[in-house]
Structure 1
Amino acid sequence: MDEKKRKELAASLLKDMEATAARMRKLIVAMPPHDLLGYIYAQYILKAMAGQSATEEQREADGPDDLIDQNQFLLEYVHAVLASDVSPEELTFDEAQCAELFELSRKLREQAMFYAMASSADTKSGLFGPDTADIEFRAKSNWVLLRGNRYQVLEGEFYSYVLAPHDDVLREVYGYGAADIAEGFQAMANASRSGHADAIGEIMRQFEAAQAFAATCDKPLEDVMETWVAANAEKSKAAGLAFDDMFRGGTANVSRHTTLPPELLADLAYRRGEETEFFAAGDFAGTPYRTLPARKKPLIQLGSDYYAIDPCFTRDAGYRALLYNLLQRKPDYKKTFEERQKSMSESAFADILSDQLPGATVYQEVYYKDPATKQWSENDTLILIDDVLFLVEAKAGAAATIASPALDFGRHAQSVQDLVVKAYNQCERFFNYLNSAEEVPLYHRVGGKYKECGRVRRSEYRMMMPIGLTVESFSPFSTYCKELPQIKPLLGKHAFMSISIDDLFVLKRFLSTPGSFAHYMEVRQAVAGIRHAHLFDEFDHLGAYLTKNRFDHDIADQLRGGKASMLIWDGMSDIVDKSFEGEDWESKPFPSQEFPAEVLKLLVAIDATRTRGWLSAESHIRNLGEEGRTNLAKVLTDLRQSLKQHPARYFTLAGDDEPLFVWLQRHDQKIDWTSVNDKASAAALAVRASNVIGVVAEVNAEGAFVGAHAFAARKPSARTADNSHIYEDAARMAQPTRMVNLNDSKKLAPAAKAQKPGRNDPCPCGSGAKYKKCHGR
């Protein structure tokens, strides 16, 4: 289709959208709001229940059905009309008109999607270079389709964290602190999530109580109902409220389902007819490409109560509206507010992930003199843990613009510029500084002066991860940012990632150990460096990692050879999404990658010991596929059991990555580090690797791992008289039958005779550190 015809098609679709939206407005404004809400929610619940009871085969046979998403889309329109119009005096509920409304809602979404395609196809260039047209289409389609991709059970946790810095002012303005407000938002989410089930349970309880009463009276229920109601006023009232929840939109009544004060609810709500922009004359009037009122204020006032009609925008829209109105009520708080927001966002990564970053060195507000400009520069948060470096640039402002991409795609692009590119540039400047010398100093600014607070050597870090952190989710731009022409791997190999505080609360649950989190971030960074490979958000990345492990290899294989210009993985978050379903979600274990028990025990021992290089050792083991993990488990089991006859055993596991050298040592024997290093060096020569990742695992008399020390061994640069035995050992190891070496350790000198080094002596493992700071801890 040529450009002229595409423009004509886009104009025609726009006209059709406006007509459909006008008809929807007319139908919604003419119906009693409570009855209309009750009807839509009932359809929503019935569909959800049908989906839960259906088998996987039935769901696949039925094909995709987005009625639930369609209902949420319609609820936003109900909110928009109620915010924009005052209803006539006489209102009548009409189920036939409701059916028409559902059909119009489906039609409007379809028209909006066709418009997204037709209006984006001609975009030749922009902020995203040659990919701008595709990303513009995705921005428009997500604007229409995306409905609060959040886990409702985590609402309270999110609000509690991000509102905590403002606790004193929230108490002053609203009489409620951060924890109380967070509890209110969680109650709001719970009502929409399980309110109908709770209402059904309440009605059943009251019905059974009334039946029992009738049985004691030996009369039919209808004959004693009036008496029972009179004698059980509170129970009958509860039943009445349950009926309201089920049939008149009562689950959305946040005045009843939360204890949040009216002043706060009023700040989050529209009064009837207050909204004047959504249906105002002009292009896109009333269409999904205007900014839906629910994106500005998530609540609506009906009578004296406040309703959260659409449950999916209460997170972002509620957060923005609350902070905006807090500053409106207390304008002199603005400067302190900004300082507190900045401090909260800069601390969030290390704070929320404290269990994943044990013993990490954390520098905040790090200063350094830029070698290029000779000016002092500042970075938010630098985190150093073992051989992994995280540089986190936090942006405390709202992540997502509420301006429609159809009305102003440039403003959306500017959000990317502000939230992604600025963070990237700050990370790039710091990485260049790290690369400017073998060791660079870091400074804090104290009393207007710069005081050195630490030093960093780039060579000590296997992984360096530049991260842009936003408060709110920035999907899909957070994962598309790698398509920006100026976003390139720093120093040629360290890809930039964009993550939100929102994401961190999920990641910490699924990646509960430092090793699993570091390995996920390693894989995540690898995917961030692959252009034209798209997963929608962080939870798709997490789901892909849990189910496929090194899914970056799968993506690279699929893109190799230029057979595909773009690769999209969809639905990978399913394993994550399902973990937050059900009332018992907190008591169930979260999905994780599977490891044979023997390998898992070794990983636990490595994590418990945490000697220098332990994350590298864990990464190597976690890189193994199912077969590699099984093979490792078998060798570990066999050799661990043989320690009853031998003081130590060892083997080398070779593969595509660096070889893994494992030395198993009886716990009652001292480690002979000379022998360990010689054998590891021989292994490096045997497999022709420059380095070997080593693990020395100690096993007690019961066969349990009591410690596992990571270390690095290097291949000798040249053969000498002193190391000829290493070369001879390597020749034996290189034989095909000895690639996994089961050497008879009887030939080793008894480890008990090894002299223990002094605390300030170099550690015999070869790390270069003092013994007291390495394996002598």
Structure 2
Amino acid sequence: MEQFNVADFECKVEKSITRIKEMLSESDPLLTMIQLYNYKFFRGLMNIEETIQGNTTPFENKLLDITQSILVSNQLIIDHDIEDDFLVEEYLEEIESFYSAASILISFSPKEEIIRYSQGMQFNVTGTLYPLFEQDHFTDMLSPYDQLLQNTFGLTSSNLVNGILAISKHLRSTLYIKFLGDTDGISDEGSFIDLHVIADYFDVEKITKWPKTFIKELSLSRGEYKDFYEDNLSIVTKESPIKYKPFLELDGRFYCFSIDNFIDNIYRSTLRVIRANNPGSSNQINLIQNNLSEEISLKLLKKMLPKSKLYKNVFYKAPVGGNGKDEWCECDGIFIFDNVMIIVEVKGGALSPVSPFSDEVAYLKSLDDLAKNPYNQSLRFYNTYKKQDFIELFSKESKRKYQKVAIVSDIKFVQACSVTLDDFNEIASRIEKTDIIQKSDLPIWCISINDLRVYPELFDSPSIFLNYLYQRSKASKNPYIKLNDELDHIGLYFEYNDYSKRINEVVEEHQDISEVFIDNHREEIDVYMTMKFNSILENADPDNSSCSLSDCKFHKKPNQKMPKTFQQLIDLLDTKMNEELIRVARYLLMLDWDTRENIETFLTSRSRKLLESKRRGVILTPYMPMNYKKENKIEELPVISIFLLHSSNRVFKNETERKRFLMERVFDEDEQTICLVVGINDKAILNKAVVYNIGPEQFKALPFETYERLKTIRMKISEARNTREF
């Protein structure tokens, strides 16, 4: 773009918006919105993923939003008869032309990268919550406001949630086709017979049964915000006027056409209208927000680590201020699982409602509030722990009384997690690489509640989730990894495991590379969420679905790719919900594909030989060591030996027998070895697992004569074994 000229693209934007306004002034707004909805809806039917998730090109994705925004922000004077027909194709061409020029203006703006990137995402992207989670999400988010809603609008939170779900169901499913067929609303030639009959389908009052006073508060009529945009170019740089007022009022009726704009903003919209109509409610709303944001975030994280210790709203002493004096500091949540600690800070505040371009200072301040400040709080906790290798946690009993609840120590991996109520998915994936986040060795995971809901759906294995956090922590420090979406991290992890290493390999393969373009890796997740949601719709009502599952292959839950029996081993270690076994699973998950294949080969071949043997008391050297060779040792991993025995073997029943058995077979008595003993039943299914640590201290504790006998046995086994080297 050496010859890029700002004026040229500003001219293109000006020209397109002028023409768009002219076309809208010549058409009935209700007819226009219905026809544009039809275009988007029937286009979506050709792609099931688009129907539910809205993953379309930007101009199609924001088609309804930009049209409605222009309708409500321009006082269009009509001095001629309105045309019966709306030139959809010509209008779409103009919208596409506008979006193309606007996107280039944003990309080549002289503003700093995070501002350009954020503006581009807000301008082009919509639809941030999977429909699969809408019921749980809005029930969680709106239930605490039940009394305020009743006092202000005579509306219960359950009625509000039911209405939201009804609108979502109306605008996402194929009910629309059934409605058109039942009403005979369209003639054989494709034109509308009765526009008002068709309009009933989008009538918010009829869909939701909400009080009209509440609906009106969330609506804008044509031309009502006539001074919202200063000029045509401000449509590119300013937030949408319909962001918090999603409904379109025409002739005393209220319509909803854009489901994504509605779902993205209805929570904040509801709080705004409560504040506006219930003076004095702000303090109560703020208190509710803070409590529910922490409660939901910790609940979702706990789902993935059900056996972890969770300490909520804990206090600790740390140096604060210029004099470095120890003061009481608060932390929203601390998760401890085995030797892993997750420091959680939750923010219920809002991302700046204005666009990044229209008020850069306000936008950056909101990023500080939602990302920088919670990270600095986590860093203070982390540094306090690191300084003394332990930290004391307290609960606050009264204004000056604190009760000790735990002492945390022996932690090997620490992760900071910053959760926000507001969705900033695309920004979160980039923000950790900016100056907003202080440079340190504490990895940060910034995520919104919308995205956090995805994690328990995909991670039902504590070991895989903890390994993901470890791999993600490496990626957050890799300068080549810049993703457009938080969920791309999951997709990359499922594909490559150590995806930071994979990116580094790509860089090494190509000389003089400064940045790696990483394509979309969340597509498999999108398809899975879509198909699961569609199956729920179809089970609830066979006529109310986005497509027939007989025509659409249901996708299995995305997971990390790994050999079948190796996966069975990880599942076995997870299901025992034992910290030591899950720690071993975490270690095994750090291994590369070739080593996993070696373990797979060992498990399958030894299982076959073990089951073929009629004398189960005979040991067929069924074990393999990993990470014991000094020349290629992985520093992050201990020495691990896997032993495969029949489930009936007495080694599983007698700890003394097991200890002797293992001490005879570990490779090096001078090094700590994690021994994983796995049992297999007659159906070749792995069904038992125990872990035992063998190290120098066990050998040194033996009486001299016992040690000498053991030494002789170890030498014989070493000479006899024919262990394959890995």
**Shorter-normalised TM-score: what interval?**
0.7 to 0.9
Matched AA of 2:676: V
Report how far residue 377 of structure 1 moved: 0.9
Report how far residue 495 of structure 1 moved: 0.9
Aligned residue in 1 for 2:543? none
**Does structure 1 retain, via aligned residues, the 8 Å contact 2:138–2:161?**
yes
User: What are the residue-to-residue correspondences of 1:266-415 with 2, within 5 Å?
Assistant: 266-281=216-231, 284-285=233-234, 287-371=235-319, 372-398=324-350, 400-415=351-366
**Does structure 2 retain, via aligned residues, the 8 Å contact 1:203–1:243?**
no
Q: RMSD in angstroms over aligned alpha carbons?
A: 3.7
Residue of structure 1 aligned with 2:149, choices 170, 175, 189: 170
Query: What is the alpha-carbon distance in structure 2 between the residues aligned to residue 495 and residue 713 of structure 1?
Result: 32
Aligned residue in 2 for 1:622? 589
Q: Deviations over 1:525-574 (max 9, x none)?
A: 22122224111122211222223332222123234587332223231111
SS in 1 for 2:163: helix
| Distance of aligned partners of 1:486 and 1:266 in 2 relative to their CA distance in 1, 3 Å threshold | closer
With a CA cutoff of 8 Å and minimum separation of 6, indicate the structure with the bigger relative contact order: 2
SS in 2 for 1:580: helix
1:188 is aligned to 2:167: yes
Matched AA of 1:593: Q
Report how far residue 458 of structure 1 moved: 3.9
Residue of structure 1 aligned with 2:61, choices 47, 60, 72: 72
| Distance of aligned partners of 1:272 and 1:735 in 2 relative to their CA distance in 1, 3 Å threshold | farther
| Distance of aligned partners of 1:570 and 1:730 in 2 relative to their CA distance in 1, 3 Å threshold | farther
Matched AA of 2:329: S
1:154 is aligned to 2:133: yes
Aligned residue in 2 for 1:467? 417
1:265 is aligned to 2:183: no
Residue of structure 2 aligned with 1:675, choices 660, 678, 699: 660
| Distance of aligned partners of 1:320 and 1:621 in 2 relative to their CA distance in 1, 3 Å threshold | same
| Distance of aligned partners of 1:284 and 1:733 in 2 relative to their CA distance in 1, 3 Å threshold | farther
Residue of structure 2 aligned with 1:555, choices 503, 511, 514: 503
Report how far residue 581 of structure 1 moved: 2.5
Q: Deviations over 1:227-247 (max 9, x none)?
A: xxxxxxxx99xxx9x987999
Q: Deviations over 1:115-155 (max 9, x none)?
A: 123323xx5xxxxxxxx43x333223223211223323432
Q: Deviations over 1:618-666 (max 9, x none)?
A: 2223334544434323322343452763457432244864243223353
Query: What is the alpha-carbon distance in structure 1 between the residues aligned to residue 223 and residue 469 of structure 2?
Result: 48
| Distance of aligned partners of 1:395 and 1:53 in 2 relative to their CA distance in 1, 3 Å threshold | closer
Q: 291-300 or 82-91, which moves further after superposition?
A: 82-91
Structure 1 unaligned spans of 5+:
55-64, 124-131, 208-234, 742-777
Q: Determine what percentage of the aligned residue pairs are the same residue.
A: 19
Q: Deviations over 1:394-416 (max 9, x none)?
A: 00012x32322222333322222
**Does structure 2 retain, via aligned residues, the 8 Å contact 1:663–1:696?**
yes
Query: What is the alpha-carbon distance in structure 2 between the residues aligned to residue 309 and residue 200 of structure 1?
Result: 15
User: Matched residue pairs, number?
Assistant: 674
**Does structure 2 retain, via aligned residues, the 8 Å contact 1:612–1:710?**
no
| Distance of aligned partners of 1:374 and 1:564 in 2 relative to their CA distance in 1, 3 Å threshold | same
| Distance of aligned partners of 1:157 and 1:93 in 2 relative to their CA distance in 1, 3 Å threshold | farther
SS in 2 for 1:384: strand
Q: 104-113 or 445-454, which moves further after superposition?
A: 445-454
**Does structure 2 retain, via aligned residues, the 8 Å contact 1:294–1:310?**
no
**Does structure 2 retain, via aligned residues, the 8 Å contact 1:652–1:683?**
no
Matched AA of 1:572: H
Residue of structure 2 aligned with 1:696, choices 668, 677, 684: 677
User: What are the residue-to-residue correspondences of 1:536-575 with 2, within 5 Å?
Assistant: 536-560=484-508, 563-575=512-524
Matched AA of 1:109: Y
SS in 1 for 2:667: helix
Query: What is the alpha-carbon distance in structure 1 between the residues aligned to residue 719 and residue 39 of structure 2?
Result: 68
Residue of structure 2 aligned with 1:179, choices 158, 164, 186: 158
Aligned residue in 1 for 2:70? 81
**Does structure 2 retain, via aligned residues, the 8 Å contact 1:696–1:709?**
yes
Structure 2 unaligned spans of 5+:
540-553
Query: What is the alpha-carbon distance in structure 2 between the residues aligned to residue 521 and residue 433 of structure 1?
Result: 22
Report how far residue 713 of structure 1 moved: 4.6
Q: Deviations over 1:151-173 (max 9, x none)?
A: 23432322111112222322333
SS in 2 for 1:405: coil
**Does structure 1 retain, via aligned residues, the 8 Å contact 2:480–2:503?**
no
Q: 650-659 or 408-417, which moves further after superposition?
A: 650-659
Report how far residue 362 of structure 1 moved: 1.0
1:529 is aligned to 2:459: no
Matched AA of 1:28: L
Please give the TM-score of this superposition, normalised by the length of structure 1: 0.78
Q: Deviations over 1:717-772 (max 9, x none)?
A: 9999787867995998699963559xxxxxxxxxxxxxxxxxxxxxxxxxxxxxxx
**Does structure 1 retain, via aligned residues, the 8 Å contact 2:146–2:157?**
yes
Aligned residue in 1 for 2:10? 14
Matched AA of 2:64: L
Residue of structure 1 aligned with 2:20, choices 14, 18, 24: 24
**Does structure 2 retain, via aligned residues, the 8 Å contact 1:40–1:71?**
no
Query: What is the alpha-carbon distance in structure 1 between the residues aligned to residue 715 and residue 447 of structure 2?
Result: 45
**Does structure 1 retain, via aligned residues, the 8 Å contact 2:346–2:419?**
yes
Residue of structure 1 aligned with 2:369, choices 413, 418, 422: 418
Please give the TM-score of this superposition, normalised by the length of structure 2: 0.83
Aligned residue in 2 for 1:709? 690
| Distance of aligned partners of 1:24 and 1:475 in 2 relative to their CA distance in 1, 3 Å threshold | same
1:485 is aligned to 2:475: no
Residue of structure 2 aligned with 1:101, choices 91, 99, 105: 91
